[in-house]
Amino acid sequence: MTQLESERPITFAGVRLGRYRHVCAFFNTRDEEYRVILPFIKDGLSHDEKAFHIVDPKLRNDHVDRLAAAGVDVAAIEKTGQLELRTWEDAYLRGGHFDQAAMLALIEAVLTGGKRQGFPLTRLVAHMEWALEDRPGVDDLLEYETRLNYILPKYPDPVF
């Protein structure tokens, strides 16, 4: 990736992201959430960036439908590898519990893997409502987020 690609302005909810691109957002409704994240997702796709999304398994089809309704050819970009869509069980809750070390390793693998695949950046969108449930390992979430804040500045990729 050239310096220019990593410095290209990236906006989220109308605000230009700076060097640190780790965003946490809370929404009142799913409609409100998608009004905010769809422009962010579509902007990345239009710049040939990778999209890596982690969603609630019960809402996977809704996520795909909302992307499609916004004009995203989900099947085509999944086939090319530009979109990788995982459920909580395939990311945060592998093995039936939250393992912060495994998740941190996954995040780094995703961000370095996107570059190896030829994408200038990876836009990672992760839904984390699972943390509101009584899941094994959920007590490690605060430490995980703290550790993540030490890892993410090494990458120019936006993580939401």
Contact indicator for 59, 126 with CB cutoff of 8 Å: no
Q: What is the pLDDT of residues 12-60, one digit of tens each?
A: 777 777 777 777 888 899 999 999 999 999 999 999 999 999 999 999 9
Which one, of 129, 128, 134, 139, lies nearest residue 99 by Cα? 139
Side-chain half-sphere CA neighbours of 135 within 13 A = 21
For residue 137, the model assigns a pLDDT of 93
Q: What is the pLDDT of residues 71-113, one digit of tens each?
A: 999 999 999 999 999 999 999 999 999 999 999 999 999 999 9
List all residues 6 or more positions away from 128 whose beta carbon is below 8 Å from its beta carbon: 92
Q: What is the pLDDT of residues 108-146, one digit of tens each?
A: 999 999 999 999 999 999 999 999 999 999 999 999 999
Domain ranges of the chain: 3-154
